[in-house]
Amino acid sequence: MKLLKTITSYIPAVAIAFVLSLFIGIFVFQPYKVVGQSMEPTLQDDQRVYTSKLARTFSHMPAYGDIVVVDSRVNRERSFWDNIVEQPLIQLIRGASNDRTFYIKRVIGKPGDVIEIKNQQVYRNGEALVEPYIKEKMNPSQDSKWVIPDNHIFVLGDNRNNSEDSRVLGPIPFDHIMGIEEIK
């Protein structure tokens, strides 16, 4: 009987810790794991990154060059429920799936920007970008152009020849930015 009483006395503390953990993961910061080589040489496969969610919480647009985690399911609306069920603690309880929903990419364009890729070079608003962080020059491809709409960003991987990014997904809605990992 004493053991049961001791166990039940811990329930409020465990419940508070659980709720606090969810709050921190939804609004403050969250860890993610790099899957694949799309951000090489900046980030390596299986590397852990910790993203700040404060910019998202306070609706602050990331800066050019920031590394962001985005929800790649751009053709669906995100809900607050998504933020809850995607928390590591909830994934642990539910039995985490191995889906590749979240991509880690670099911000290249913001609302109103015109992004062009021509002759293996990225241009923002007509100016060629200086990108010392990329792994190698892009393979030759068809020239492309995007005008970034309001509340969207344009992202690319640092390993341009091995990255599924805005060239495939299109501009990313602001509410699909999960967090920002600022590497300076």
- Model confidence at 26, pLDDT cuts 50, 70, 90, reads confident
Q: Is residue 109 part of a domain?
A: yes
Is 41 a member of any domain? yes
Which pLDDT band holds residue 184 (cuts at 50, 70, 90)? very low
Tell me whether residue 157 is in a domain.
Answer: yes
149 in a domain, yes or no?
yes
Question: Which are the catalytic amino acids?
Answer: 38, 105
- Output DSSP code: residue 71: E
Query: How many percent of the chain have pLDDT more than 70?
Result: 95
Number of domain units in the chain:
1
pTM, entire model:
0.83
CATH number at residue 104: 2.10.109.10
Q: Which domain holds residue 129?
A: 29-76+97-181
Q: How confident is the model over 60-87, as a mean pLDDT?
A: 87
Q: Within a domain: residue 21?
A: no
Exposure pattern of 18-42 as b/e (b: 16+ CB <10 Å)? Answer: eeeeeeebbeeebebebebbbbbeb
Helix (H, G, I), strand (E, B) or coil at 94: helix
Contacts of 121 (CB under 8 A, 6+ apart): 128, 129, 138
Report helix, strand or coil for 89. helix
Residue 17 lies in a domain: no
- CA–CA separation, 25 and 32 (whole Å): 11
Residue 99: band (very low, low, confident or very high) from pLDDT cuts 50, 70, 90: low
Domain assignment present for residue 16? The answer is no
Q: Cβ–Cβ contacts within 10 Å for residue 65, how many?
A: 14
Instruction: Please state, rounded to an integer, the average pLDDT across all residues of the chain.
Output: 87
pLDDT tens-digit map of 120-130: 999 999 999 99
- Of 155 and 81, the one with more pLDDT: 155
Is 51 among the domain residues? yes
The residue among 153, 126, 130 whose CA lies nearest residue 71 is 153
